[in-house]
């Protein structure tokens, strides 16, 4: 046996390549299995959003979107069932129900009249055909004014994302490159706020924003705090800034660049992966934020983001499962699209590989 270059392989090399191939195949299959488990809820939601209300409430309905067939006979609609006969399974419409015998009509030959059939009609399976209810999406969109909810959520997510990235980058650069009194102590105090439960600060924050500043019903309690950075984002950016060689800053300073110019022209371009990761982290957080908009925007329904709007929709249309899932799928599309467009830079920023000297 030879390889692609024509070199003869020994039995040991052949065995090793087979083991490597088997290992790669096993890891791939395991990864696909885990991926399938994670995607099952999403797939279920998408499929259910394309069903009708009758199918979602029918426990015997198939997984895929399908509607039970009906046949109109003498001005009345009758269900079409799968009836076992001597000639195989027939698709007949049940006209008259009986305990031991029932009467059917053959939709393919209605002129033959009613057909007597002995058996329990309750055990018969209905005949279904594939039917996708695409109108669930425009119904969900128009019912809860999705355009307004998306605009509010995008405004909240993008404004706070820009503010927290700028402030976090400035604070991280200070911790990474400047020496000042109690630097390490302040950094540890900042890191300590990451593990501080949000419930501890909820009541003081709420009282301050509502009673002191009178910001109730506005976006200010949600936007202003984001403009002062985030401990996790500062930590991530600081660790990335530390991997950037100081020689690059020294070269910029020799050319006459000051601290601000060096930060903007040298550090930030090198930290694009980390900045992208921080941006997406905060964007997804703001997109999914529910509790704080719920309490701070109370009384101002026009300013609600999509999370609060979906909750209201769920309460009003709790029996319309297909519409609830259609609305959830619509709300899921923008963050998924943004993630897939930036996934390469996002993953690179999480890895934080640094820059070779």
Tens-digit pLDDT profile for residues 107-137: 988 888 888 998 888 888 888 888 888 999 9
Which among 55, 71, 74 is positioned nearest to 63, based on CA atoms?
Answer: 55
**What percent of the chain is modeled with pLDDT above 70?**
93
Taking residue 64's Cβ as centre, other Cβ atoms within 10 Å add up to 13
Residue 355's pLDDT is 40
Q: How far is CA 218 from CA 53, 167, 209, in A?
A: 37, 22, 10
Using H for helix, E for strand and C for coil, what is the string for the chain?
Answer: CECCCCCECCHHHHHHHHHHHHHHHHHHHHHHHHHHHHHHHHHHHHHHCCCCHHHHCCCCCCCCCEEECEEEECCEEEEEEEEEECCEEEEEEEEECCCCEEEEECCCCHHHCEEEEECCHHHCCECEEECCCCCHHHHHHHHCCHHHHHHHHHHHHHHHHHHHHHHHHHHHHHHHHCCCCCHHHHHHHHHHCCCCCHHHHHHHHHHHHHHHCCCCCCCHHHHCHHHHCCHHHHHHHHHHHHCCCHHHHHHHHHCCCCHHHHHHHHHHHHCHHHHHHHHHHHHHHHHHCCHHHHHHCCCCHHHCCHHHHHHHHHHHCCCCHHHHHHHHHHHHHHHHHHHHHCHHHHHHHHHCCCCCC
Residue 354's pLDDT is 42
Cα(32)–Cα(8) distance, rounded to whole angstroms?
34
Residue ranges per domain, the chain? 1-48, 70-126, 138-351
Instruction: Name the CATH topology of 138-351.
Output: MetI-like fold (1.10.3720)
Give the model confidence (pLDDT) of 181-203 as tens digits: 888 899 999 988 888 888 888 88
Q: CA torsion sign, 277 to 279 to 282 to 288?
A: negative
Residue 196's pLDDT is 84
Cα(46)–Cα(354) distance, rounded to whole angstroms?
40
Cα(230)–Cα(312) distance, rounded to whole angstroms?
30
Give the model confidence (pLDDT) of 136-186 as tens digits: 999 888 888 888 999 999 999 999 999 999 999 999 999 998 888 888 899
Give the distance from CA 82 to its chain's centroid.
40
Residue 303 confidence (pLDDT) above 80:
yes
pLDDT band at residue 353 under the 50/70/90 scheme: very low
Taking residue 188's Cβ as centre, other Cβ atoms within 10 Å add up to 10
Residue 357 confidence (pLDDT) above 60:
no
Q: What is the pTM of this model?
A: 0.75
What are residue 102's DSSP bridge partners? Answer: 117
Which whole number is the average pLDDT over 244-256? 84
Cα(111)–Cα(113) distance, rounded to whole angstroms?
5
Residue 347's pLDDT is 67
């Amino acid at each position: 046996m030879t390889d692609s270059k024509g070199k003869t392989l020994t039995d040991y090399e052949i065995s090793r390549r087979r083991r490597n191939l088997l290992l790669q195949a096993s890891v791939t299959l395991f990864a696909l299995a885990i991926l399938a488990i994670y995607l099952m809820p999403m797939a279920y939601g998408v499929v259910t959003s394309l069903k009708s209300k009758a199918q979602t409430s029918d426990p015997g309905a198939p997984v895929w979107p399908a509607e039970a067939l009906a046949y109109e006979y003498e001005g009345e609609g009758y269900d079409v069932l799968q009836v076992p006969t001597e000639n195989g399974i027939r698709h007949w419409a049940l006209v008259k129900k009986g305990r031991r015998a029932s009467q059917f009509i053959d939709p393919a030959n209605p002129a033959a009249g009613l057909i007597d059939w002995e058996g329990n009609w309750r055990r018969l399976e209905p005949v279904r055909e594939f039917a996708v209810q695409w109108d669930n999406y425009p119904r969900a969109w128009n019912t809860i004014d999705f355009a307004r909810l998306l605009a509010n959520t995008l405004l909240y997510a993008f404004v706070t994302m820009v503010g927290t990235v700028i402030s976090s980058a400035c604070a991280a650069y200070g911790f990474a490159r400047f020496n000042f009194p109690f630097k390490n102590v302040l950094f540890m105090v900042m890191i300590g706020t990451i593990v501080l439960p949000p419930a501890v600060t909820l009541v003081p924050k709420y009282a301050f924003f509502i009673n002191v500043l009178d910001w109730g019903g506005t976006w200010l309690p949600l936007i202003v705090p984001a403009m002062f950075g985030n401990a996790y984002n500062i930590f991530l950016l600081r660790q990335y800034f530390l991997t950037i060689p100081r020689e690059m800053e020294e070269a910029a300073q020799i050319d006459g660049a000051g601290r601000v110019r060096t930060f903007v022209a040298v550090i930030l371009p090198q930290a694009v992966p980390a900045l992208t990761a921080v941006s997406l982290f905060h964007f997804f957080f703001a997109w999914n934020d529910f509790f704080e908009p719920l309490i701070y925007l109370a009384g101002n329904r026009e300013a609600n983001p999509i999370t609060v709007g979906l909750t209201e929709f769920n309460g009003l249309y709790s029996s319309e499962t297909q519409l609830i899932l259609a609305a959830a799928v619509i709300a899921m599309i923008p963050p998924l699209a943004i993630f897939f467009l930036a996934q390469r830079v996002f993953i690179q920023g999480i890895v934080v590989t640094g820059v070779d000297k």
